[in-house]
Amino acid sequence: MLIVDDDEAFAVMLQDMLTKAPEIDVVGWASDGLQALSLAETLRPDVVTMDLDMPRLDGVEATRLILAQHPEMEIILVSGSDYQEKALDGRYAGARDYIRKSRIEHDLVDAVLSAVSVARS
């Protein structure tokens, strides 16, 4: 799993939360969409958590570009803002799910485990 978020402290919190599930292995962190493209190519994660609002390349466009090259990857959009239109754009770009940061503790692990099972089937 690859975490993509421009807030390093939030990315570390996500990694700590996700690695408590033995089925989830976090293989890297990208701080923006361009770095996410490079790491997706290099690391080939099954699942990517993608922040919507990032510098250099936003989460919607990064999702579109990653899935164009790696349609087998599952992407879960994450945002602290209420970007319903942008979240829909991300879903149209191929993202599997959208989770608001306020719901991370309740929803993320289950969403990632579901995405992992789809990616590995």
Instruction: Note whether residue 114 is domain-resident.
Output: no
- Domain, as residue range, for 41: 2-104
Instruction: Note whether residue 109 is domain-resident.
Output: no
Mean local confidence (pLDDT), 27-31: 96
Mean local confidence (pLDDT), 75-84: 80
Give the pLDDT band of residue 65 (cuts 50, 70, 90).
very high
Instruction: Note whether residue 119 is domain-resident.
Output: no
pLDDT over 70 at 19, yes or no: yes
Query: What is the structure's pLDDT at 83?
Result: 64
Total domains, the chain:
1
CATH number at residue 23: 3.40.50.2300
Instruction: Note whether residue 40 is domain-resident.
Output: yes
* Position with higher pLDDT, 55 vs 45: 45
Instruction: Note whether residue 25 is domain-resident.
Output: yes
Instruction: Note whether residue 57 is domain-resident.
Output: yes
Instruction: Note whether residue 110 is domain-resident.
Output: no
In angstroms, the Cα distances linking 121 to 22, 77, 87, 106, 115 are 18, 21, 26, 25, 10
Instruction: Note whether residue 52 is domain-resident.
Output: yes
* Position with higher pLDDT, 105 vs 34: 34
Query: SS3 for 49?
Result: strand
Query: What is the structure's pLDDT at 103?
Result: 85
Q: Model's pTM, two decimal places?
A: 0.91
Please give the mean pLDDT across all residues of the chain. 90
Give the pLDDT band of residue 28 (cuts 50, 70, 90).
very high
Burial call 85-116: b when 16+ CB within 10 Å, e when fewer:
ebbebbbebebbbbbbbeebeebbbebbeebb
